[in-house]
Chains A and B, each alone.
Chain A
Amino acid sequence: MIETNRLGVSYRGQPALTDLSVTIGGGFTAVIGPSGAGKSTLMRALNGLIPAGSGQVLFQGTPLGRPGSALLRIQQRRMGMVFQGFNLVRRLSALENVLLGRLAATSPWRSLSGWLPHGERELALHLLDRVGLADHAWQRADQLSGGQQQRVGIARALAQQPQVILADEPISALDPKSAAEVMAILHGIQAQDGLAVIANLHSLETVRRYAGRVIALRAGQLVFDDVPQRLTDNVARELYGQDALPGESQEPGGNQELPPNVHFASA
């Protein structure tokens, strides 16, 4: 479904990904690795938010279109992104945020008029119901809790009617209970709807519980690609260094290892 071919991406002049070749099909794929390993860059490169410096990303066999091209927009529409910081438009209601996922399917001029094509609102309400937030449809996004915002974020991604969900640290900013809810929803999307889910995760317990495949990055390179059963403590220790085993002795998903540059404004 998504394939990288000798992908290299530089970020702020620093190589973030080097020579990365990996093919990701269906199922639930977890991407792990220490902070700064290039996990978020990989997600953005898969979606085309960051252009490849060298090599290429292929979506369903077709290389991603150039930045700003109509081809890339069509491809992006098939990849729903979920963000660590939720990235909801805070002044809009939950429902309006879900409807943002329909923009790519609407002509720009029509979307300016504010008139929704038939059935869009019903679809958005249905998706909010699916993530358990039908009662909060008219609430402003910034008045929702972090867990609720992330669920709206997932509904927004689903509104794109995507084939793959790219979740960039979807639970890093959440408390353990909200994190478990969000993981359950992501798992359901994959198991029931058959969407591919690719998620950056920190907690190894969460990875072992939900993922069917684990990809590990270190310093921008692929260092592990296998089923989670093979992700032994020894492998993890090698990956993260001797001192730290993230997720151990923590609640599932209750990862406290936030990068130092996280904004809490929306949390």
Chain B
Amino acid sequence: MTIRVPEPPLPIYRPPPAVLRNQRWRWAASATVLLIVALSLGGSEISLPRLTQGSVNIVHYLFGSAERPRSGYFPPDFSNGLVYLQQMLLTVKMAVVGTTGAVILAIPLSFLAARNTTPNRLTYQLTRRLLDLFRGVPLIVMALIFVAAVGLGPFPGILALAIHTAGILGKLFAEGIENIDEGQVEAVRSSGAHPVQVLSHGVWPQIIPHLLSMTLYRFESNVRDSTLLGIVGAGGIGYYITEAIRGFDSRSASAILIIILSSVFLIDFLSAKLRERLS
């Protein structure tokens, strides 16, 4: 991998494009956005009466109705609490392993997908498109594909998480690499360092904080996302909450939701603290 000879620093201030400075263009842009929203309303079946009638049902569904005993979400039923906790732990483990796999995939790809470290234009384009593909296929679809390929359980879920997250992290890492200070890289290169050393000692120290921060951020998202994976049989607590809701066992579903929410809150909190430290 080579690093291009850097261009001298550009002036920090760049005027906005002429289009944005022109008042008439601004009006046209606003009108276009409004038009898009208006067109999108067609086919969305939005109806206020349905919402008002439905809200009564929502109350009944959440808080139970007199006709049906044991209906409603309260009080939550923790009789299988230990199983739910174990499944939640499994879900977090899936997120840990999936995110780790994603980082391992994303680091080399990001160097190929950053304009200043890619060996050539073709590699850049191919890697970017590959990352688009990883990122563009919805997680659930990817999980279904891997369930079909390797069978049920956490393994296909982890594969789906790793590939999907590699698409996201690869792009974010590449943008981090593109934003480094080329002067620091130039200094290392000017000393006669090997290209590997230019990457390891000129580029790498600059991107570590960004890389850790983005990874933690994606880990938080992956804990949330992996609670969904069980729905398609790819392991974790998602399976249990789907079963509980389908079986009208709302109080168990309530218990599961409480476990999911508190775990997610806890992990988000800890991860955010850690990210604060990094920046």
Decide whether A and B assemble into one complex: yes
B192 touches A108 (CB 8 A): no
Residues of B within 8 A of A260 (CB): 11
19 additional A-B pairs beyond A72-B192, A75-B192, beta carbons within 8 Å, are A49-B5, A67-B5, A68-B2, A68-B195, A76-B192, A81-B190, A85-B183, A87-B184, A90-B206, A100-B187, A100-B202, A103-B194, A104-B193, A104-B194, A108-B200, A111-B200, A156-B191, A160-B191, A266-B183
Is A156 a contact of B187 with CB atoms below 8 Å? yes
A142 to B197, CA, bound (A): 21
A50 at the interface (CB under 8 A from B): yes
Instruction: Tell me if B191 and A112 are in contact (CB < 8 A).
Output: no
Q: Name the contact of B189 in the complex, choosing from A49, A91, A92 (C-beta under 8 A).
A: A49
Complex-state Cα separation, A157 to B192, whole angstroms: 11
Complex Cα–Cα for A261 and B13 (A): 10
A122 to chain B, nearest CB (A): 19
B206 partner residues in chain A, CB cutoff 8 A: 89-91
B9: A residues at CB distance < 8 A: 85, 261-263
9 contacts between A and B (CB under 8 A): A73-B192, A91-B205, A91-B209, A92-B205, A101-B191, A104-B193, A108-B197, A109-B196, A157-B191
Q: Within 8 Å CB of B10, what residues of A? A: 261
Given contacts A68-B2, A91-B206, contact A100 B188 (CB under 8 A): yes
| Distance from B209 Cβ to chain A, minimum over Cβ atoms (Å) | 8
Give the interface size class of chain B.
20 to 34
Q: A89-B205, A91-B208, A262-B9 are in contact. Are A83 and B187 (CB under 8 A)?
A: yes
Which residues of B from 225 to 261 have beta carbons under 8 Å from A? none
Q: A90: which B residues are within 8 A, CB to CB?
A: 181, 184, 206
Of A91, A153, A262, the most chain B CB neighbours within 10 A belong to A91
B contact face: mostly helix, strand, loop, or mixed: helix
Min CB gap B8→A, angstroms: 6
Interface range, A side = 35 or more
Q: Is A118 an interface residue (CB 8 A)?
A: no
How near does chain B come to A112, taking the closest CB pair, in angstroms?
Answer: 6
B186 proximal to A (CB < 8 A): yes
Q: Please give, as numbers and ranges, the residues of chain B lying within 8 Å of A77 by CB-CB distance.
A: 191-192
Interface assignment of B12: CB less than 8 Å from any CB of chain A: yes
- Report, nearest first, the 6 A-B pairs whose CB atoms are least far apart: A76-B192, A77-B192, A104-B192, A87-B187, A87-B183, A108-B196
CA distance A144 to B12 in the complex (A): 23
Chain A residues with CB under 8 Å of chain B are 12, 40, 44, 47, 49-51, 67-68, 72-81, 83, 85, 87-92, 100-101, 103-104, 106, 108-109, 111-112, 153, 156-157, 160, 260-263, 265-266
Chain A residue with the shortest CB-CB distance to B10: A261
At the interface, yes or no: B67 with Cβ under 8 Å from chain A? no
- Identify which of A50, A73, A81 contacts B187 (C-beta below 8 A): A81
Give Cα A75 to B202, complex, Å: 19
Assess whether B60 is interfacial by the CB under 8 Å rule: no
Q: Which listed residue, A40, A73, A109, touches B193 by the CB 8 Å rule?
A: A73
The answer to whether the Cβ of B135 comes within 8 Å of any Cβ in the partner chain is: no
B7 at the interface (CB under 8 A from A): yes
- How many Å lie between the Cα of A62 and that of B12 in the bound state? 40
- Contact A265–B181 (Cβ < 8 Å): yes
CB neighbours (8 Å) of B93 from chain A are: none
CB distance from B98 to the nearest CB of A (A): 27
- B201 interface contact, C-beta 8 A: yes
- How far does the Cβ of A10 sit from chain B's closest Cβ, in whole Å? 12
- Contact check, B197 vs A111: say whether CB atoms are below 8 A apart: yes
Residue of A nearest to B11 (CB): A261
Residue ID in chain A nearest B4 by CB atoms: A67
With A92-B205, A112-B196, A112-B200 in contact, do A100 and B11 touch (Cβ < 8 Å)? no
Contact residues in A for B181 (Cβ distance below 8 Å): 87, 90, 265-266
Whether the Cβ atoms of B200 and A76 lie closer than 8 Å is no
A80 adjacent to B197 (CB under 8 Å): no
Chain A residues in 8 Å Cβ range of B195: 68
A111 close to B201 (CB less than 8 A): yes
Known: A77-B191, A103-B193. Contact between A49 and B201, CB under 8 A? no
Pairwise interchain contact B183-A12, C-beta atoms closer than 8 A? no
